[in-house]
Structure 1
């Protein structure tokens, strides 16, 4: 677990200085402050286990790798799991839960994870490039929500790309949603098999769709071949790549509200978190609008969770560092309109 250190004091001082400087320049101020500042964190997958909020984020580090469109500078090496007894409570860092050196098949880049619980076991799902530099999705297990986790000896058969989200339906079934274009390599699987030279879709082509697969009973494999997640407009038509303020880019998340399924995601290069609503975990999901407006930094990645009758949006920006690859996680209350649509969140005021 984490104790207060000189490093944390430095990061807090940087944050306070930036806030004061921003206010002096008339810059918009954030509605929420970073949940932790002793390490850089991103892509927060939040869950409630045993009456406590557990957050499974990426752990950003400075690796010295030059920035590129494939995200090579996001060179994460391990995961730290965080927990809190309420959205405004003290945050505990439980230390390293899984290190890339303990994943036998991994090559590099531990990206955004997620977690699930079933029958006394906690499952940590993670994307990492294998030794051929292809993103696969692995799984590790623990008897405690904070870990440490032990990785399986190989990735999930049939898995690829990034950003796993594992959703538990009301009937006890579990589904994994995943995928991400550009650095997430989803475009390289468009033909059904991996093609390192595959191109991105052009503006007038149908946008690439995220994937979904029902999980097997042991939570270690897919029970079926992955399917496309249909994300459609009000006329039931899928988006073109040119509709990049609405089409899927990465960061899938699914939650259930009042009997409906909400599929939310990042639009990537236009920096929105958008969402659609459907009647089945498989979709189709009809686009309804924006969950979160663009944040400071290039990426946008979130999770949505209910806690004691209220809903919360976990997200990240770059308030502490001002650098794209060194992010910090935050939380804000999420509200719904009477018709079930989400009240759009602006992370700044």
Structure 2
């Protein structure tokens, strides 16, 4: 695929100026006004430019960095508020020998046609390693257009992966993320609006309307919670009843649904630093990557602030990984294409302060 080059936007307008001579004649003249939009300066360059990639989940397996992103494609589906134009159909896996290496594309690791239950929209994935096997977790819509989570297995971190014939039992919504804590593996998931999490508030899929905003709580009610469950020993199913994650204000009260600057929207991720658990996520329509800190992988997590300020483009989705002695955040924006649904991966260093807080990162310098 040939990517579009980044272009300045030039607005041109033509104005007819009416000039009157002393004898009363009317003359016209054409004036062309050219206004060039100021270009943004980005903190980080794109990591991958030969295909569009987004939602990067980065891990270190056996001393090597692997990135599991979604694969953006040109779509004929009309854009809407449910994200129908994000019509991805397969996954590529990328590897890096070191944090400064150019990512290597290992080709298609899993295609929607190889997933018996999945119809479309292979959105943000994640991966895990256990006992020499590699597990790719992914969301997709079934033939009723309801999102579920699937899992595929491989003997190699780069695939190809073989999908299970059915989605994970009891799974729904989007954005799976797996966190290993000792011998235990936890899976986090959920996304509101197009991610359908709000439609599962009763425990069953229930929609009161066609809008992705339907079924949300009132602004003064607690925000919809992301979900977590420990994985089963074979890594293929939930090993326990899923539970809600509570994201709390500093006073211990829940973040409210109307607090769009801080409430959970999608893109859950967990990492551990100095025996504390960090739950980070996207705030969606306010475009922050925010975070809370807790004492357990189940939470609750107390809101701390913003890790990554808004990027160019509507969405953001990230992962945080330690490589050697440093921490890095992988994320995406639209620098290459300028199109909301055609994104590119980026990466920059992340800093934990002595008090446990994380320095806020500005991805756009001007």
Report if TM-score (shorter chain) is over 0.5: yes
Distance, in Å, in 2 between the alignment partners of 1:254 and 1:18 is: 37
Bigger Cα Rg: 2
* Structure 1 residue 290 corresponds to structure 2 residue 306: yes
4+ residue runs over 3 A deviation: 24-28
What is the deviation of 1:336?
Answer: 1.3
2:204 paired residue among 193, 197, 202: 193
Give the corresponding residue for 2:179. 167
Q: Which residue of 2 aligns with 1:178?
A: 189
Looking at structure 2, the residues matched to 269 and 44 of structure 1 have their Cα atoms a distance apart, in angstroms, of 19
**How far off is 1:51 after superposition?**
1.1
Distance in structure 2 (CA, Å) of the matches to 1:98 and 1:279: 36
- Are 2:252 and 1:236 equivalent residues in the alignment? yes
CA shift, 1:18, in A, is: 5.7
**Equivalent residue pairs, number:** 334
CA distance in 2, matches of 1:26, 1:135: 40
Residue 146 (structure 1) aligns with: 158
Task: Report the equivalent of 2:334.
Answer: 318
Matches within 5 A, 1:19-30: 26-30=38-42
Distance between the aligned counterparts of 2:362 and 2:97, measured in 1? 25
Q: Does 1:105 align with 2:117?
A: yes
Gaps spanning 5+ residues in structure 2: where? Answer: 10-35, 209-213
1:204 and 1:53 map into 2 onto residues whose CA distance is 43
Partner of 1:91: 103
**TM-score, structure 1 length as denominator?**
0.93
How far, CA to CA, are the matches of 2:221 and 2:277 in structure 1? 27
Query: Which residue of 2 is the match for residue 50 of structure 1?
Result: 62
Q: CA deviation at 1:275?
A: 0.1
Rounded to whole Å, the distance in 1 between the matches of 2:108 and 2:338 is 25
Aligned-pair Cα RMSD in Å: 1.4
Alpha-carbon distance, 1:25 to partner: 5.3
The answer to whether the Cα contact below 8 Å between 2:173 and 2:189 also exists between their aligned partners in 1 is yes
Please say if residues 8 and 39 of structure 2, whose CA atoms lie closer than 8 Å, have aligned partners that are also in contact: no
Q: Does 1:245 align with 2:261?
A: yes
| Alpha-carbon separation, structure 2, partners of 1:328 and 1:268 | 18
Match of 2:136 among 108, 116, 124: 124
| 1:261 aligned residue | 277
> In structure 2, what is the Cα distance between the partners aligned to 1:26 and 1:151?
46
Distance 1:72 1:204 in 2: 29
1:40 matched to which residue of 2?
Answer: 52
Would you say the 8 A contact 1:42–1:57 is kept in 2?
yes
Q: Is contact 2:8–2:37 with CA below 8 Å preserved after alignment? A: no
What is the SS of the residue equivalent to 1:255?
strand
Q: Which residue of 2 aligns with 1:4?
A: none
Looking at structure 2, the residues matched to 55 and 91 of structure 1 have their Cα atoms a distance apart, in angstroms, of: 9
For 1:16-65, what per-residue CA distance to the aligned partner results, in whole angstroms no more than 9, with x for missing partners?
x569xxxx854431111111111000000000012111000000001211
- Give me the whole-angstrom Cα distance separating, in 2, the residues matched to 1:327 and 1:300: 10
In 1, distance between residues paired with 2:89 and 2:179?
25
Q: Distance in 1 between matches of 2:39 and 2:290?
A: 25
Larger relative helix fraction: 1
Partner Cα distance (2:320, 2:251) in 1: 27
Match of 1:155 in 2: 167
Structure 1 position 202, deviation (Å) = 2.4
Residue of structure 2 in register with 1:136 after alignment? 148
User: SS where residue 108 of structure 1 aligns?
Assistant: coil
